[in-house]
Chains A and B, each alone.
Chain A
Amino acid sequence: MTDYLNSDAIRQLLNRSAGQLDPSTLAGLRQAREQALLRHAPVGAGSQTRWHFGAWRPAAATWVATLLLAVCLFGGITYYWQQTRDSSEIDLAILTDEMPVDVYVN
């Protein structure tokens, strides 16, 4: 036999076979499918009272990490410029003060 089955042919065969199953087998398969779907339900869909940290998707953790990094970065940059601005303001006051600078240095 030289004919190979492609994916469409396989799907058609499976559909045809499923149509020939007896009702009790179909009911069993449907129940198994529903149970499998329930086990993989999104966090919070079944119970809203508990956190399921273990069920966090990696993508969500990546987003949170990126967001935290961005917040830290922004905070750090803001703090740095604020410090620079503060010191330059006091320095300008010293440099324009009536008192000579060496009074404060020595």
Chain B
Amino acid sequence: MRPFRRSILFATAALLICGAAPAFAKPWTELTAGQREALAPLAKEWDALPEKKQHYYLNLARRYPSLTVAGKQRLHERLDYWSKLTPEQREQARQKYKAFKKVPADQREQVKKMVRDREAQKSASSGVPPAAPAPK
């Protein structure tokens, strides 16, 4: 086999291996301590998750160390809820989030205040702190 053809075959094989490698499923016990901390709410169901979803959550966990304490707490509170949403619901949330970011800052603050008031009312009436609701 001539060197040029051999090098092309090697390059193709390398591409296939590199492309497929990150998609291999990883058991919970093989995650790093940091990844396990970030994805703690998914510990029970982790091993049953499809490879693609595991890769998605590992991508989220990658940025976990850079989050604030409040951010980490919110992530943990919402991760289970988020994982149970359908792909369509998640896509809808992304679109709405992007649209909300384009709203002028003062209007955005007004909406945030309304939501905060609503959450405070809910928690006052129920006697428990606000948590992520179950998906519909």
Interface size on B, residues (CB 8 A): 46
Considering the complex, which residues of chain B in the window 1-48 have a beta carbon less than 8 Å from any beta carbon of chain A?
4-5, 8-9, 11-12, 15-16, 18-19, 22
Q: How far is the CA of A25 from the CA of B74 in the complex (A)?
A: 96
Q: How far is the CA of A89 from the CA of B62 in the complex (A)?
A: 10
Q: A85-B59, A101-B132 are in contact. Are A96 and B71 (CB under 8 A)?
A: yes
Q: A84-B56, A106-B136 are in contact. Are A95 and B119 (CB under 8 A)?
A: no
Find chain A residues with CB under 8 A from B67 CB: 96
- Asked if A91 contacts B90 (CB within 8 A), the reply is yes
Check: B129 CB closer than 8 A to any chain A CB. no
Q: How far is the CA of A59 from the CA of B115 in the complex (A)?
A: 67
Give the residue of B75, B89, B94, B96 whose beta carbon is less than 8 angstroms from that of A96: B75
Stretch at the interface among A12-20, A27-35, A45-53, A61-69: A61-69
- Asked if A101 contacts B94 (CB within 8 A), the reply is no
Main secondary structure of the interface of B (DSSP, over half): helix
- Asked if A100 contacts B96 (CB within 8 A), the reply is no
- Asked if A66 contacts B8 (CB within 8 A), the reply is yes
CB nearest neighbor in B for A70 = B12
Query: Please, what's the 1-or-0 string for A82-106, where 1 marks a CB less than 8 Å from any CB in chain B?
Result: 0011011111111111111111111
Which one of B22, B75, B78 has the greatest number of beta carbons of chain A within 10 Å? B78
Q: Can you sample 23 A-B contacts with CB below 8 Å? A: A63-B8, A66-B8, A70-B8, A70-B15, A73-B12, A73-B19, A74-B19, A84-B55, A84-B56, A88-B59, A91-B60, A91-B82, A91-B94, A95-B75, A97-B97, A99-B100, A100-B119, A100-B132, A103-B115, A104-B96, A105-B92, A105-B96, A106-B136
Q: Which residues of B contact A (CB under 8 A)?
A: 4-5, 8-9, 11-12, 15-16, 18-19, 22, 55-56, 59-60, 63, 67-68, 70-72, 74-75, 78-79, 81-82, 85, 89-90, 92-94, 96-98, 100, 111-112, 115, 119, 130, 132-133, 135-136
